[in-house]
Structures are given as C-alpha cells and as structure tokens.
Amino acid sequence: MARIIDKEEKKASIALSAIKLFCEKGIQQTSITEIAKSAGVAKGTIYLYFKNKEEIVFTIWDILSEQHQEFFQKNITENMRAKEKILHYLNFNEFKEDVDKEQVLKLFQHFVSSMLIDETQLYTEYFESFFQKDYDLISSYLNEGVEKGELVIDDVDTLTKTIILLLKGLLVKSKASNMNFTETQKAFNKYINYLLENCTKEIL
C-alpha cells in the first residue's frame, strides 16, 4: 500500500534540503533546479509547495524558529527569574543537539545579505516579522520581571529594541569578522549580560 504523503511534512523536507545549498552557494546563487535535485523531486514539484525561492527560505526559518521555541519552553521553569528566561531564550547553544549551529549562523548571514540587496521588500518584511516575535517575548519577560517585583526598568520598550538591534548588528559583525558560532554566541552573551545588568535593577 502506497504511503500517504503529508503535505506539511513534504514541504518541510524540501525546504530543509536547501539549507546546505544556501550555505555553500548563497541564497541568490542557488536555483530552484538545484533545490529540486537536492530534495530528490522534480522541479515542478517545488512549485506545488512554494510560489518562489523566497518562500523556501522563509519556511526554513519558520521551522528553525519553531524548534528553538519548543526547546526553550521545555527548558524553562516557573521559578526562573525574568532575566534568566531571557538569557536562556537568547542562548542558541541550547538549540536541539542535531542542529548544525555553524550552518544555522551561516544561513542567517546569507539571509541578512539577501535582505540588504532585496528590492522586492519580501526579505525585509519577513525579517522584521521574525524579530517582532523576539521583541514580543523579550518585552513580555521584562514586564513580567517588573510586575513580579524582580526588576526595576526605566523603559522596557527601548531596552527590548536595543537587544534586538544588538542581535541584528552582531550577525553582520560575525560575517564581516569571520566569527564562528561559538565566538558569535560568546560575544552576544557578553553584550546581552552587560545590557541587562546596566539597564535593569534587580530587587533581591
């Protein structure tokens, strides 16, 4: 009996098969034909699941973001203070063990590069919606810390936006300085800790 193909599963499989190509060649230089070959499907099959290459890129990030969110939720507890939750969320060392973190960093760098030269605004719009989710979560934990009497913060909105800008800027810096994942995460931890220590007052 033929196996019934789950459309979402197939869509995810095709998208994830493109990661290696995007990392090796760059997003702009990778063709739909190459992605189809990598996924082991006909070129026409790609268009049954995606309108264009951009949708493949965005699906990859949707999948990785969801995996990171699920892993994060499993590893935090109600007893954790707000700062600790934020640091856990922004520690990508705690991603799933089977995820190639160097590859994810390189892919994100290619994503940013594509956004900078994008005239359609598709990458820019997705990029901003992607970081809006981070903004919502980080600001919610900072507000939680204030409400629980753990933290005193002058401006939650500005602090959250500064953290997001730091993350964006460090992605560009890591590419320009040829930093690997470990170096990038270490630098990010350093600056995030500095921001949280100097822009909040913790109530013991």
* 52 DSSP 8-state letter: S
The answer to whether residue 40 is domain-embedded is no
* CATH code (residue 131): 1.10.357
Q: Does 180 map to a domain?
A: yes
| Residue 105 domain-assigned (yes or no) | yes
Mean pLDDT score, 121-135 = 90
So what's the pLDDT on residue 3?
Answer: 53
Q: Vertex 177, ends 174 and 181: CA angle to 5°?
A: 40
Is the residue at 175 inside a domain? yes
Q: Assess if residue 186 is contained within a domain.
A: yes
Which pLDDT score is estimated for 118? 82
**Residue 43: inside a domain, yes or no?**
no
Q: What is the model's pLDDT at position 2?
A: 45
Q: Looking at the 3D structure of the chain, how many domains does it have?
A: 1
Averaged pLDDT, 146-174? 91
| pLDDT (tens digit per residue) in 52-109 | 999 999 999 999 888 888 888 888 888 899 999 999 999 887 665 666 888 888 888 8
CA distance 91 to 99: 14
Mean pLDDT over residues 163-175, rounded? 89
> What's the mean pLDDT in 5-26?
90
The predicted pLDDT at position 55 comes to 94
Domain of residue 64 covers 53-202
pLDDT of residue 1: 41
The torsion region of residue 121 among left (phi > 0), alpha (psi -120 to 50) and beta comes to left
CA distance 91 to 142: 17
- Whether residue 132 is contained in a domain is answered as yes
Q: Which of 141-145, 172-176, 200-204 has the lowest mean pLDDT?
A: 200-204
The answer, yes or no, to whether residue 36 has pLDDT greater than 60, is: yes
Q: Which residues pair with 202 in a beta bridge?
A: 151
Contact 71, 96 (CB under 8 A): yes
For residue 36, is it within any domain?
A: no
